[in-house]
Amino acid sequence: MIGSLNGILSFKAPPQLMIDVGGVGYELEAPMSTIYDLPALGEKVKLHTQQIFKEDGVALYGFLTLAERALFRLLLKVSGIGGKSALSILSGVEPEQFSRLIANADLTALTRIPGIGKKTAERLVVELKDKLGTLPSATGIKLVPGARAVPADPRAEAIDALLALGYRPQEVSKLVEQIKEPDLSVEDIIRRALRAALK
């Protein structure tokens, strides 16, 4: 089991990443909460990881904080929640906010997360209401902060990332069009779009 990776960030196209560890490139996916705080390409990074074995292969997920990984693992124990759904949840809400949504049984907000319908939202509330207090503090160490690279076409990359997270094309267009500020990074566009999606 791969528990963490410590190496060079060599590729970033949300939600996909590649970490070069001693000349071996590890492909993994990460929630936007992690991607927001990644250093620039070519910089050192350490990620906590979760490896999932599936029928068609192995998937590797990476997280900057132990709280994100702990919530991801907890989500995987909920029937009907797989890696992609858990990644969408972590991308849409921070662990503390998710805990509040579960504690308040806010089904409306939960169903705004891609891939989460009413029945799944109800299942999340029922199965997680008493378990979220066991999560590590989300103020867990953000291991290697760094500068964010500004891509050539941030809006196009943000749209691709939101589509990869499971949002429908019509939703993505609407969310990104509402963001009027110029010169935002991909991460800032995605962050604002995800916040708007929960309203």
pLDDT tens for each residue of 16-70: 999 999 999 999 999 988 998 899 999 999 999 999 988 888 899 999 988 889 8
Residues 54, 59, 39: CA angle, nearest 5 degrees: 170
pLDDT digit string (tens) for 66-82?
Answer: 888 988 999 999 988 88
DSSP letter for 152, please: S
The pLDDT assigned to 139 comes to 36
Is the pTM above the cut of 0.75? no
Kindly list the structural domains of the chain, giving each domain's residue range(s) and its CATH number in brackets, ordered by start: 4-63 (2.40.50.140), 67-134 (1.10.150.20), 154-197 (1.10.8.10)
Confidence of residue 141 (pLDDT cuts 50, 70, 90): very low
d(Cα 77, Cα 50) in Å, to the nearest integer? Answer: 13
Q: Give Cα 55 to chain centroid, integer Å.
A: 23
d(CA 120, CA 183) in angstroms, rounded, equals 37
Between 183 and 17, name the one with better pLDDT: 17
Whether omega for the bond prior to residue 151 falls within 30 degrees of 0, making it cis, is no
Spatial distance between the Cα atoms of 19 and 44, rounded to a whole number of angstroms: 9
